[in-house]
Every structure is written in structure tokens, then in C-alpha cells.
Structure 1
Amino acid sequence: MAGRIHIVGSGAIGKALAVCLLNAGKDAVLVRTSVDGEPDKTETIRLNLPYNGRLFANVTIKTFSSLDMAHGIFIVCSKSFVNEMIALKLTNFALNAPVILLQNGLNVERAFVNKGFTQLYRCVLMVTSQFEGESELRFRPVAACPIGIVAGNEDLSAHMVEHLHTSWFPFRCEDQINKFVWQKVIINCIFNSICPLLETDNGVFHREPAAMQIADRIIKECVDVSVHSGIELNIKDVRAAFLLVSRAADGQIISTLQDIRNKRPTEMESLNLEVAAIAHSGGLENKVNITRTLGELTALKSILNR
């Protein structure tokens, strides 16, 4: 598949993806979601990789108003709480274009499904990225990011993976994407609540047994909800995947803590609180007390900090 890659969301993940794609010779641009109508601009972005590697790229940054009659792939890397707005904007020119949601959370595709997008895909983030300066990022890949179908076809999914994959920011096809979505949601329910509340980095769980004990309780709660929802997960597998991320992201600050510090909203609604809502609808509301409470505390901390 050829065509321009539009990366919707100019945060730490979107900018890292743009740098990797441009260094691989792809035609990629960033699209800002926070403003519209401004002229296009170019930003030189540096990506600091593991083992002292570095990538640089001059990235074109556009707004929705400059995407009239745009063609190609659309990768949504923004926070999920703006999906209603993004889906509305993209209906003007991308209703039948491939749209990949590179986001954390459960049911983040709902706004796009409701608006009738015909080529819609979910991707599970298996990388970490944080700003070290205005145009400098610390980027750590953990594993290849799986892409699966919400609405579309397998051949197009495979072409997109081939088009997007780089050695720095890898992708792969996945035919059981909902299983991986749930597993990553459970991992994020832990990182995105405990790390902001403790004001610490992602590596705390493999360093501190007491932190891992709390994580184990969340894993148990969330796996019970996933199984009740028809997604068969294994506690040992989720725990192993979680610790893999904790070790690979040692020293990295989770996005929710970055958001709180920068007085921005968090994604708790699509993480802990969405798991709690699903549990409530299935009669399991008393089975997710820790997951729900930590999510509520994190959301409250975000509100109070603003």
C-alpha cells in the first residue's frame, strides 16, 4: 500500500512514530488536534533510542483544515478522550480510508464505529515515549505493536503493517486483537494509576515487591472481568507481559503522570473506570474494588492538579 501516512496527534507517541517513518523513507505528516486553521509548519525532532542511538527528522505538522481531500492512511495517536472530535473531523474525507487507532483503552473505537468508518483497525501500543525537551523524546520499544481488524479486511491489514513497520517502531498482524487489547488495558490499569499516585516511574514494579503485590491484585480483578466478557486471559501470561514492560520502561514516566504534571486530562475513563463499568454491567461490581478505586483516585488527582 502506498500513500501518505497521516499521524493524528502530535504527542510523544505521534512524534516518535513520525521520526521513525521518515527515517525509513515513508511519506508521513503529523496532524495537530488541539488547534485548527493554523499554517503548516516544520519541526526538527530528535529521538533518543536505547543504547545511545539517535534519530532526527524534519517533521511537517498540519491541522485538520489543511487535509481537504486527503488520501492515504490515518493513524490516530491522540488520547482517546478526543476521539469523538477526531471521528467527526475525519468523516469529511476519511470515512472510507484506512484508520488505525494506536491508543490505549477499552472501546476507544466506539466513536468511529458509530460514524460508519469502513476500514477501521485497532493497534496495541507496545512502546514507551516521553518528552525530554520541547523537540526531544526518549523512546523505548518493548515489542512489535499488533494491528487487528475492527471493520475491514485481512489483506489490507497486512499491507498496512508492511507499510508502517520499521526496525525502530515495529508492527505486526494480529487476528485476535481483542485479547491483546484487554491484556494491554490491564497493564495500563496498573501503570496509569499506581505510578501517578506514587509519583514514580514504570520500573517500580520489578524493583519493589510491595508495588508488585498491588499489581497482582489488579491483574486478578481485571482478568476475571475479561473472562466474564468472553476474552480468555491467563493471569501468569498477563503478569509476565506486565513485568516485561516494567523492565523495558525502567526510568520512563507513564503518560498519565506526564498529563497530570502538565495539567491535562487523563485516560482513566477508558482504562480503570471502563473496566469497572463493564464489571458493573456484568454483576461483578464488587470484584474490581482496587482497580476502580485507584482509577477514581488518579482521576481526582488530575482534576485537583488542574
Structure 2
Amino acid sequence: MQVAVMGAGAVGCYFGGLLALAGHDVTLIGRPNHVAAIEANGLRLETKTGTQMIPLKAASDPSAITPPDLVLFCVKSADTEAAGRALQPRLKPDSVILSLQNGVDNASRLQAAIGHPVIASVVYVGTEMAGPGHVRHHGRGELLIGASAQSDVIAATLTSAKIPTTVAPDIDQALWSKLILNCAYNALSAVADLPYGALLAIDGTEQVVRNVIEECIAVARACGVSIPDDVLTKTLALPGAMPSQKSSTAQDLARGKPSEIDFLNGTVARLGAAHGVPAPTNLALTVMVKLVESRRGSGAS
């Protein structure tokens, strides 16, 4: 397959690298410094079992790519519409687009912007960019994707490339469950600049996490989304499963980049206000991240 990865950050590089190893023709579309490193040496993929260099294509402008069979759309939420419009001229009528983004509304926003079907997806992977053209994998690596006419074939293709992929019968529930996970830890990890494993060791942190989860569940239900009964237990188990992982928000702040906080805790606070459901903890965490952004000069998102 011709595969384009739009937004070749940590998630896009990891999955793009695995697809290239499986024999697919992959082009990573990313920032010039990453593109230069990948063109010179290939993508450096570092996992717990070792490091390998993966030869693949890279570009900083989607106008240069071959029309793709599959697009992994991985840009930050604030860039969804602009990146979609830049990619649109290279799409084929039957190009399949997977939105591998945080938040609950990126797929619908992208679809509205480009007039092309988009399949919502939920990503469960711990990765970080360790340098130009260098992605480091910390754990997990599976996907849930929404149902469509192409979803079963795409899921089989991804799974054969060592990306375990399941078609979710209720993708909205899955998106909200992932949002709750992100809301619980992303801001705290960012403000403290700590990995997940160290957070709950601080007195009071677990209660804050529980407050966030309870608010998220109440807002989701007000929006008509069913939330699984075990979401609290699963969310509290994350630090034990990925103790060394810092959140994507923490990684953004460390690099001086705008965060996605408006599309995480900010979404819960905004939707809560719209539905008359209080979400003060989510609002407080949103403001805390924006204060850190302001102090570091990364610009509020």
C-alpha cells in the first residue's frame, strides 16, 4: 500500500515505521529537521528490544507525495483543518483516512473541512521523539478504529504489520474513554514534568485524578455517550502499566510547543458548561497548563 503519515511526530513515526518494515511504501510528512534526518539515515526506531534504522520516504510538504491508499492523520488537534486542506489535493476518491489524534471530535472536524470520509481511531501507545528522525517506544501500540466499509480490511492490514487493530462497535465510547485517560494524567504530568509512575506517589494526586474522571463521566453522559463501568479502575491502573512515560502534553511543554489542552481537559470544561455539568477540576488543570505555557513562552493553545 501507498501510506502517507500526515504529522510525523512520535505516534506517526512509530506506526509508519512498522508499516514500512511490513513492506508498505510509507512517506512521513513532518517538520524539516525530522525530514532531513530521515532522508539522510532513515527512521531510527528504538524499542525495549533494540534499535533499528528503517529506510522510508519523508517530505515536509504533502504536495510532493504519491496519492495514498491509506493516510494516518496524526497532526495536533489545533492543526486539523489546515493540515487536512493541505493534504486534500493528493487524495484519491478511495483513499482511507484514519484520524490518530487526541480528543473526541477531530475526525468529524477533518471530514467537514475536506469533504472526504474519515475514520475515527483511538491510539494506545507510549512513544516520544528522542531527536530528529528518532522515535522511542515505551509500551503498548494498539488501535481501535471506527466501523466503515473499509475498516475490516484496514484492521487486518495494520494487524499484519504488528499494529494490533480492532474495529470498535461504539467508537464514540472508545474516544471518550481515551479522553478520560488523557484528562486524568496529561495536565498533571505536564505541570509537574513527571512520568505517570511518580504522580500518584504525591499525596492528594489520586483524589485529583478521581475528581477529573468523575467530571468526565458526568459530561460524557450529558452528551449522550455511554461510558463503561470499569473506566475508573482502568484509568487508575495506567501509572502502573507505563510508569516511565510522560504525557504528550508534558513533551509539548518541554519542547516549547503549544499543547492540546483545549482539546483535552478544556473540551470537558467547555462541554460541561454547555450542558450545565460542573467540571471545576478539568477547568483548573486547563488553566494550569496554559499558565505554564505562558511562562515558558510556548503560546497558549
TM-score, length-normalised on structure 2?
Answer: 0.88
Instruction: Select between 8-17 and 92-101 the one with higher mean Cα deviation.
Output: 92-101
1:216 paired residue number: 210
Inter-partner Cα distance in structure 1 for 2:274 and 2:45: 43
Conserved? CA contact 2:19–2:161, under 8 Å? no
Conserved? CA contact 1:8–1:78, under 8 Å? yes
Q: Could you tell me how far 1:69 is from its partner in structure 2?
A: 6.0
The answer as to 2:160 corresponding to 1:160 is no
Q: Kindly tell me: are residues 256 and 240 of structure 1, through their superposed partners in 2, closer, same or farther at Cα, counting changes over 3 Å?
A: same
Deviations 1:28-83 (A, max 9, x none): 11012679xx9x93542232223x34443123111335436613111111211111
Of the three residues 241, 252, 255, the one matched with 1:248 is 241
Q: Quick one: percent identity of the two aligned structures?
A: 22
The answer as to 2:87 corresponding to 1:90 is yes
Inter-partner Cα distance in structure 2 for 1:199 and 1:262: 12
2:71 maps to a residue whose letter is F
1:61 paired residue number: 58
Conserved? CA contact 1:42–1:58, under 8 Å? no
Q: Could you tell me how far 1:298 is from its partner in structure 2?
A: 0.5
Conserved? CA contact 2:67–2:92, under 8 Å? no
The answer as to 2:168 corresponding to 1:170 is no
Q: Kindly tell me: are residues 240 and 56 of structure 1, through their superposed partners in 2, closer, same or farther at Cα, counting changes over 3 Å?
A: farther
Q: Kindly tell me: are residues 34 and 212 of structure 1, through their superposed partners in 2, closer, same or farther at Cα, counting changes over 3 Å?
A: farther
Partner of 1:233: helix, strand, or coil?
coil
2:265 paired residue number: 272
2:266 maps to a residue whose letter is L
Inter-partner Cα distance in structure 2 for 1:111 and 1:276: 19
Inter-partner Cα distance in structure 2 for 1:42 and 1:162: 32
Partner of 2:104: helix, strand, or coil?
coil
Partner of 2:116: helix, strand, or coil?
coil
Deviations 1:140-172 (A, max 9, x none): 3436210104xxxx3301111122225643222
2:142 paired residue number: 144
Of the three residues 112, 115, 136, the one matched with 2:113 is 115
Conserved? CA contact 2:29–2:62, under 8 Å? no
Deviations 1:177-212 (A, max 9, x none): 100100101111122111111120022355456322
Of the three residues 284, 290, 295, the one matched with 1:299 is 290
Q: Could you tell me how far 1:99 is from its partner in structure 2?
A: 1.0
Give the paired residue count. Answer: 294
The answer as to 2:52 corresponding to 1:72 is no
List runs of 5+ in structure 1 lacking aligned partners: none
Conserved? CA contact 2:68–2:92, under 8 Å? no
Instruction: Select between 155-164 and 140-149 the one with higher mean Cα deviation.
Output: 140-149
Inter-partner Cα distance in structure 2 for 1:200 and 1:91: 38
List runs of 5+ in structure 2 lacking aligned partners: none
2:268 maps to a residue whose letter is V
Q: Could you tell me how far 1:127 is from its partner in structure 2?
A: 0.3
Conserved? CA contact 2:120–2:171, under 8 Å? yes
Q: Kindly tell me: are residues 27 and 68 of structure 1, through their superposed partners in 2, closer, same or farther at Cα, counting changes over 3 Å?
A: closer
Partner of 1:109: helix, strand, or coil?
helix
2:250 paired residue number: 257
1:8 paired residue number: 6
Inter-partner Cα distance in structure 1 for 2:268 and 2:41: 38
